[in-house]
Amino acid sequence: MDLDELVVRINIETGQLEPYTRKIVRRLSDMKDFYYDKEAVQRILAKEDPIIYEVYAWERSTDEGNLSFATTILNPGKIGDEYYMTKGHFHSKRDRAEVYITLSGNGKIVIQDEKGNASVLDLVPNSITYVPPRHAHRTVNTGNKPLIFIAIYPSDAGHDYDVIAQKGFSKIIVERDGKPTAIDNPNYLK
C-alpha cells in the first residue's frame, strides 16, 4: 500500500476532495419523490433540473474495520416551502454509526429511529454531530449558501435508501414565517 494514497485534501471553500473515488450528483429529477409538494416539483422540473447536492467520496475498501469519508455540498434552495435536502438513509448494516463535521453553511439534520421517532438538530460550522446506529439521517440546507460537511462512516455500513423512499421521514423542514420549522410529514407512511 502506498501511504501517499492515504492523504486526501479538501478544498474548504468548495468542499471537493482531491482525490476522490466516487462522485454523486443528485438533481431534482433524482429526488422528485422525496419532496411532499409534488406540484412544486413538477413546476420546477418543467423549467429546469437543478442540482440539489453533490457528494465526493473516498472509499478504499468495504472490508469490516475500514473507514470511508465523503464531503457533501448541499445547495441552498426550496421546493415549494421545503428546503433542499439529501435523500437520507439508514445503513444497510443497521448497527453502524456515522459522524458529520459541518464545515460551512447552516442547516438541520433529521435523525430518525426505525419506529419513526425523529429528532431535528442544528448543523453549524465547526460542529460535530453523531448519528447513532439504527437511525436514518437526512441533512437539510436552511441557509442561503451551500451547506458543506464531512461524513465519516464504517466502510461496510452500506446505504439503504429504499426504506426512506417508501416511507419517508416523519418530520420535514419547511419555511414558516421566514424561519426553518420542523413539521409532521403529511406523506409519511407509518
Domain 8-180 CATH class label: mainly beta
Q: Average pLDDT for residues 48-77, to the nearest whole number?
A: 95
Q: Are 150 and 101 in contact (CB under 8 A)?
A: yes
Percent of the chain as helix, strand, coil, to the nearest 5: 15, 45, 45
pLDDT computed for residue 190 by the predictor: 78
Residue that is written with C-alpha cell 453502524 in the block: 96
Return d(Cα 182, Cα 173) in angstroms, integer. Answer: 5
Q: Average pLDDT for residues 115-139, to the nearest whole number?
A: 97
Q: Are 170 and 184 in contact (CB under 8 A)?
A: yes
Q: Are 116 and 190 in contact (CB under 8 A)?
A: yes
Grade residue 3 by pLDDT with cuts at 50, 70 and 90.
Answer: low
Return d(Cα 172, Cα 98) in angstroms, integer. Answer: 21
- Which phi and psi (to 5°) does residue 46 adopt? -70, -25
Q: Where are the domains of the chain?
A: 8-180
pLDDT computed for residue 11 by the predictor: 95
CA 69 to chain centre: 13
Higher-confidence residue of 184 and 2: namely 184
pTM of full prediction above 0.85: yes
Quick: pLDDT tens for 33-61: 999 999 999 999 999 999 999 999 999 88
